[in-house]
Structure 1
Amino acid sequence: MYLSFIVMIVLGAIVIGRAFYIQTVEGKFWSRMGDSLHLKYMPLEAERGTIYSEDGNMLSTSIPIFDVYVDFGADGLREKGGKRFKENVDSLSIYLARLFKDKTSAAYKKEMQLAYKNEDRYYTLKKKISFVEYAQLREFPLVKQGRNKSGFIIDPRDKRINPYVLLANRTIGLSRDNATRNVGIEQSYDSVLRGTSGQRLMRYIAGAYMPVEGAELEPENGKDVITTLDTYMQDVAENALMKMLVGNNSLHGTAIVMETATGKIKAIANLGQLKNADGTVQKDQAGNSIYAEDLNYGIGKATEPGSIFKLATLLSLLEDKYVTKNSLIDCEGGVKQFYGLKIHDTHPNHVLTVKDAFAASSNVAFAKMADQYYHAQPSKFIEHLHHLRLDTITGIDITAASGRPLIKKPANRSWANTTIPFMAHGYEELVTPLHMLMLYNAVANNGKMMKPYLVNSFREYGADIKTIHPQVVVEKICSDETLAQLKECLQAVVDSVHGTGHKILFDSAYAIAGKTGTAVTALNNKGYNKGNKIYQASFIGYFPANQPKYTVAVVIQNSNESKLVYGADVSGTVFKEISDRIYGRFLGSKKFITTSVDTTKYNYYGMKNEWGSIFNTLKLPYKDSAGGGYWRSTTMQNNAAVLKTTAYTTTGTAIIPAVIGMGLKDAVYLMENKGLKVMATGRGRVLNQSLPPGAAFKKGTTITLFLN
């Protein structure tokens, strides 16, 4: 007993001594430790900067969203036995149910009463509400009494949106919570856009961290980024490309517009077929493939370029003085064997000048010339390609990991006797469309190769704080003599009757110079046999040819179901639409008057009473041959208007109306009155609609209208 008593006294003394030591000697340390467990600073994100187009439109911006929490342990909410909460919970529940429409007022009341009973200190009421919803919430019963009395805590943060949705989406990029997964400009200029985070003191109470009011270190907001993109040009490029891809059932394509003198990228459209989880192509209700900006094909996808590469071969031959544009070359009927492999021309040719061989895009002619002059000295040809930066990354200010070029060297294991002949007309090398665009732009720019770039400046509070200037990467790609011959050959592609671009591009109000290309590629890497062989169609050129302002590259990968496959028919058509619209908007000064007297091909659509008002004002005779209904199409015949009933416009019927030719206001009015949800892209009148007229539909179906 004595021994036990002594042990207890000793243990008690140790406990008291230890407590005294902790309280006096280590007291400050443990006090700080206790505070650190209950208080800590958490990052307060800065407002991310906005990305603008050169013409001042928002391309990517942040909008505020709000998370709503309630501190049911707040003193003001629980005083007087919770009188304030009990008096307002019914009306607050009704208002919340009306605003969010996700629960009944009874469900909201039950949840809040349970949270009040449990004294939840950081109860999540609603997340990601909009500013409009937040503004209404602030006026609700109880909430409007303020944070201390209501317990309501509003936590604001930003949500990133692209107001133009599809427009240059892949180039502008995506901003994610994890910045390492960003793409495009959002990735490359993340350090500029994101700003500097602040800090907010948070207190740990009842299992959750709550902000300490007034204990914040404000963040420094991000800078705005002003791009080189022009929204009109981007819209034109995207619509022209989309129209060809949908109409020709192509796999994917890109269209890039570069300002010749500076290297600014004014537009870059990248569209590819969307795939389902099982790898099949997504289709709309009309059976057309659905396209979106899934990959930056213009910058990030290196392919065998085909005949557009002949410009590099021609430059090498001219610069080395082996040929001139007037030298004669025998194309041997369009078929020739090179070391056991045949090279073919699309059309049989015999003796042509170098200029005509370039205009007619003779594969045999360029393979023969390259083999004759560079077979024994391949490094000389490769040096020219290096000087033209075709083996070097472009340096554009967004990353594209797969966009590295591949130009074979004689030391490569895959080098063979056939390499030079095939490289000469665009095979056995990999380059991106942007690489080829830089070369063509250098020719248009009198031999000066510009670095392509996408950002003009950084801006803070409306003032530029840094400006990015054009940069020359090659001062002179060739001699003036060679340059003059190159320009003449490029213009012959369009102007010459036998030029591959003549049929599509010659009939213009301005001069165009460029080159077509049609490269044979393997579908899904299954080989080049007939069943898997598909074609990549290209056209790169500049306009106006005598004083170039813009250089445009269009490269489209066709499918084995595409009706059109050749460079001029596919990419040349897209180029023509883009150049026509840019020229008409920015460069054209002449007023063109149509000489046609037959105006029946011009059809316009709208409401009957509006047509009557227009024709009466113009004192133009018109005849309404339709009778009932509100909607009319009109044609001109013998200087008089004829109004007719349009198809599928009867109100209330569950079939898709025909709105092609209408203005957007009328088209949206008609579609929405029938119960359709409308999305629109482009400007002007409706050029196409994603769902065919006359088809049945369910209420709430989304239809996309393409305007041009």
Structure 2
Amino acid sequence: METKKEILIRTYLVFMVLVLVCLAVLGKVAYIQLAQGKYWRSMADSAHIRFESIAAERGTIYSESGEVLSTSVPEFDIYIDFQADGLIEKEGQLYHQYADSLAIGLAKLFKDRTVKEYKKLLDKGFRSKDRFVLLKRKISFADYEDLKKLPLVKLGKNKSGFIAVVRMKRLYPYKLLANRTIGIARENNKVGLEKKYDQYLGGTDGKRLVRYIAGGAGVPIEGTDREPQDGSDVVTTLDVNIQEIAQQALQKMMVENEALRGTCIVMEVKTGKVKAIANLGRQSDGNYWEDYNYALSASEPGSTWKLVTLMAVLQDKKVTLNSVVDLEGGRWPVAGQVVFDSEVHGMHQATIQQSFEKSSNVGMAKLTYYHYGNKPAEFLQHLHNWRMDSITGIDLPGESRPSIYKPGSRHWSNTTLPWMGFGYNLTITPMHTAMLYNAVANGGRMMKPYVVNALLKDGKIVQQYEPVVLNAQIADREVIAQVRQSLEGVVLNGTGRGMKTEAYTFAGKTGTSLVADKGITYADKMYQSSFAGYFPANDPQYTIVVVIRNKAHAAKFYGASVAGPVFREVADRIYATHLFKQPQVQPGKADSTSFQLYARQQTLKKLAGFFGWRMSDSSANSMVALFENSAGKGKVLRSADKQDAAMPPLQGVGLKDALAVCEEKGLMVTVAGRGKVVAQSILPGTPISKGQTIHLQLN
């Protein structure tokens, strides 16, 4: 019995000892975790060292004339290591010496905390000996340079503990302007030129050894860097001024018509350079944004496609422009369906040119049906030769492939070909339309559209991109002359007759098509308005294509009334700023040239005195005056008529005088350059209204 009792006592003692040992272990764990946890985690983190990538500086994207469209700028996250040698030696003598002045400097620099708040933040970190205290995120390079001049910080990071972690931020100075074309350089979702030229812009990353400290943050170890190779720069064909013109004109019409989406393309005729691509989509809040590159999105083109039909029958010599076609009053039954002309006209006998100018669906459908019905491959071969069945190859990502039905496919029927004649039963992109019309403007020479001129490395060209000819002659020269005559006829006599201007001539084709895609049917009465053309008609310099998708049942939807005004505004302003040449008068020579000069009265009187002009002066005390020279009246200086609603000529006038004239007219002014006015976005003689914006280009 005694033996059993002794064994139990020993067992209880062992058990109690084990319990006490366990409690001691748990207590030590809790002490280490709670009281010493930060210290030991810091020690563990300090032992964690690994190589990390150093991001290369991404290249810059420029406009053709050198404006920065997209670039990378450094941003800095600022941390403080309160266990830096300079802060812990001599019981923190350096810290106590500079803490107050440092807090004053930080408050003055960043203006986000008071001096007292910064001092409190610094003291807390110093007392706790924290190794990686965040002071400020995303400060600019300029602020970083100022920070390095502050007390304590200027002693260097080993003494001050200040650590800067740099990252590159992508900056787009022009915001919305050409946003979808330039693109976005997101980590895993790049678009536009940022995506297409990523391998050149991105460069080659470097490496460095990083020691991880408390909180899991990494501190670079000096002397271990393998320097990155920065990316190349991209010089585009884009013209910022033309891009702004296209963007403003497109947005104005889309807002007015509450349109869903739209695009405006401007192409240089001789080269195929794309000078502007504006893309706008209506957002859920009613605002517009460059949310998608609609210039590269395929849809049924509608009546702008009729150029293809006309050119095909002329090239195959099946008709002439004077051949007659019966328009059936605008309604033609064929293969169990009915072709309708969009506008009721009641015409029957019409020439091919008249049919094209009036944009008759019946006329174009009959041309394809009667001349290619038994041999559709002949018509389709033209589409292949003119590259309407393949991508344009423009150097932008995301271009939609055209859809052209062929005999034998499940989509082919007896109505496919006649409907193709006026732009249905096929899809192409607005860029295809621009490429085709540009070829006609270029005398039949089809150029590949492109948006990048060159790649630069350290300011030197490493890759030059030249214009590419896709088809040296898409049709006989006499055929090109005939279709150009017909395109001019559209503006003079046809559906675009309300668009013409006296300042210059242009040629083009209107388009109005019902939309049926992505859950939308023709019954929804959603129209796509378009206009494709070039100017000046006698010596084409620019091709412009405008395509706007309207809301369902829009009150205004015809191509001439929706897309046409956008074309005109863009063409007017390009002509005024890039092509229009003001006749120059050489002072001091006796001549009978009639001219006018608007400026401040004092400027005009100084000019008259300098050149010895004798003139009749009735300008009184007017700030802005008008100098006129004519054979009948001689030289006259008079007050400018404030009520005159026409734009005066400003070429050759200095900026102060130009601003005075524009202010007198109630105009808003934007200016580029220095010196004297060489171009104005509103042509002389054009009607103006108060609050309208004019752009002045100085020399």
TM value normalised by structure 1: 0.77
> Are 2:183 and 2:191, in contact at CA under 8 Å, matched by a contact in 1?
yes
SS in 2 for 1:157: strand
Match of 1:512 in 2: 506
The question of 1:225 aligning with 2:221 is answered no
Match of 1:321 in 2: 317
The question of 1:565 aligning with 2:573 is answered no
Alpha-carbon distance in 2 for matches of 1:337, 1:433:
30
Alpha-carbon distance in 2 for matches of 1:466, 1:351:
57
**Structure 1 residues 73, 186: closer, same or farther in 2, change over 3 A?**
same
Alpha-carbon distance in 2 for matches of 1:513, 1:553:
12
Match of 2:471 in 1: 474
> Are 2:525 and 2:553, in contact at CA under 8 Å, matched by a contact in 1?
no
Q: Deviations over 1:229-272 (max 9, x none)?
A: 11121122112222222233222211111111211111111122
Alpha-carbon distance in 2 for matches of 1:319, 1:663:
49
Shift in Å, 1:75: 0.7
SS in 2 for 1:213: coil
Q: Deviations over 1:179-201 (max 9, x none)?
A: x4111111100111111111222
> Are 2:577 and 2:681, in contact at CA under 8 Å, matched by a contact in 1?
no
Match of 2:365 in 1: 367
Aligned pairs for 1:414-433 (under 5 A) are 414-433=411-430
SS in 1 for 2:526: strand
Match of 2:112 in 1: 102
> Are 1:239 and 1:706, in contact at CA under 8 Å, matched by a contact in 2?
no
SS in 1 for 2:75: strand
Of the three residues 242, 245, 250, the one matched with 2:254 is 245
Match of 1:581 in 2: 573
> AA paired with 1:500?
T
> AA paired with 1:374?
Y
**Structure 1 residues 555, 706: closer, same or farther in 2, change over 3 A?**
farther
Match of 1:188 in 2: 196
**Structure 1 residues 664, 322: closer, same or farther in 2, change over 3 A?**
closer
Unaligned runs of 5+ in 1: 1-33, 282-289, 605-609, 625-631, 645-657, 666-682, 686-692, 695-703
Q: Deviations over 1:575-599 (max 9, x none)?
A: 1222222223333335399xxx9x9
**Structure 1 residues 620, 633: closer, same or farther in 2, change over 3 A?**
closer
The question of 1:133 aligning with 2:129 is answered no
Alpha-carbon distance in 1 for matches of 2:601, 2:428:
57
Aligned pairs for 1:292-441 (under 5 A) are 292-299=289-296, 301-345=297-341, 346=343, 347-400=345-398, 403-441=400-438
SS in 2 for 1:663: strand
Of the three residues 163, 172, 191, the one matched with 2:182 is 172
Q: CA RMSD in A?
A: 3.4
**Structure 1 residues 488, 324: closer, same or farther in 2, change over 3 A?**
same
Alpha-carbon distance in 1 for matches of 2:584, 2:348:
41
Alpha-carbon distance in 2 for matches of 1:615, 1:322:
64
Alpha-carbon distance in 2 for matches of 1:38, 1:44:
18
Shift in Å, 1:118: 3.2
Match of 2:611 in 1: none
Match of 1:457 in 2: 454
Of the three residues 550, 559, 565, the one matched with 2:542 is 550
Query: In percent, how many aligned pairs have the same letter?
Result: 47
> AA paired with 2:233?
D
SS in 1 for 2:522: coil
Alpha-carbon distance in 2 for matches of 1:521, 1:259:
30
**Structure 1 residues 188, 245: closer, same or farther in 2, change over 3 A?**
same
Q: Deviations over 1:563-583 (max 9, x none)?
A: 432212222222122222222
Alpha-carbon distance in 2 for matches of 1:523, 1:641:
56
**Structure 1 residues 620, 400: closer, same or farther in 2, change over 3 A?**
farther
Alpha-carbon distance in 1 for matches of 2:347, 2:374:
27
> AA paired with 1:525?
G
> Are 2:668 and 2:694, in contact at CA under 8 Å, matched by a contact in 1?
no
> Are 2:76 and 2:138, in contact at CA under 8 Å, matched by a contact in 1?
yes
> AA paired with 1:502?
R
> Are 1:490 and 1:513, in contact at CA under 8 Å, matched by a contact in 2?
yes
**Structure 1 residues 614, 535: closer, same or farther in 2, change over 3 A?**
farther
Shift in Å, 1:611: 7.9
**Structure 1 residues 586, 80: closer, same or farther in 2, change over 3 A?**
same
Alpha-carbon distance in 1 for matches of 2:552, 2:602:
51
Shift in Å, 1:399: 0.8
Alpha-carbon distance in 2 for matches of 1:230, 1:53:
6
Alpha-carbon distance in 2 for matches of 1:548, 1:42:
55
Aligned pairs for 1:71-86 (under 5 A) are 71-86=81-96
Shift in Å, 1:95: 2.7
Of the three residues 97, 121, 134, the one matched with 2:131 is 121
> AA paired with 1:472?
V
Alpha-carbon distance in 1 for matches of 2:169, 2:449:
30
Alpha-carbon distance in 1 for matches of 2:694, 2:412:
48
Q: Deviations over 1:512-542 (max 9, x none)?
A: 121111112259734223xx31221111111
> AA paired with 2:72?
S
Instruction: Count residues in correspondence.
Output: 591
Alpha-carbon distance in 1 for matches of 2:63, 2:507:
28
**Structure 1 residues 81, 590: closer, same or farther in 2, change over 3 A?**
closer
Alpha-carbon distance in 2 for matches of 1:96, 1:360:
72
Alpha-carbon distance in 2 for matches of 1:383, 1:664:
49
SS in 1 for 2:437: helix
TM value normalised by structure 2: 0.78
Shift in Å, 1:339: 2.0
**Structure 1 residues 217, 49: closer, same or farther in 2, change over 3 A?**
same
> Are 1:334 and 1:362, in contact at CA under 8 Å, matched by a contact in 2?
yes
Shift in Å, 1:639: 5.0
> AA paired with 1:372?
Y
> AA paired with 2:557?
V
Unaligned runs of 5+ in 2: 1-43, 586-593, 608-616, 628-636, 644-663, 672-679, 683-689
Alpha-carbon distance in 2 for matches of 1:204, 1:274:
45
Alpha-carbon distance in 2 for matches of 1:510, 1:418:
41
**Structure 1 residues 69, 557: closer, same or farther in 2, change over 3 A?**
same
Match of 1:275 in 2: 284
The question of 1:62 aligning with 2:59 is answered no
Alpha-carbon distance in 1 for matches of 2:218, 2:626:
70
Alpha-carbon distance in 2 for matches of 1:449, 1:642:
49
> Are 1:663 and 1:684, in contact at CA under 8 Å, matched by a contact in 2?
no
> AA paired with 1:260?
V
Deviates more, 1:66-75 or 1:578-587: 578-587
> AA paired with 1:365?
G
SS in 1 for 2:515: strand
Alpha-carbon distance in 2 for matches of 1:244, 1:37:
63
Match of 2:23 in 1: none
**Structure 1 residues 121, 36: closer, same or farther in 2, change over 3 A?**
closer
Shift in Å, 1:438: 0.9
**Structure 1 residues 616, 250: closer, same or farther in 2, change over 3 A?**
farther
**Structure 1 residues 512, 468: closer, same or farther in 2, change over 3 A?**
same
SS in 1 for 2:537: coil
SS in 2 for 1:165: coil
> Are 1:536 and 1:556, in contact at CA under 8 Å, matched by a contact in 2?
yes
> AA paired with 2:384?
H
**Structure 1 residues 218, 706: closer, same or farther in 2, change over 3 A?**
farther
Match of 1:680 in 2: none
**Structure 1 residues 454, 173: closer, same or farther in 2, change over 3 A?**
same
Match of 1:502 in 2: 497
> Are 2:625 and 2:638, in contact at CA under 8 Å, matched by a contact in 1?
no
SS in 1 for 2:58: coil
Shift in Å, 1:38: 3.1
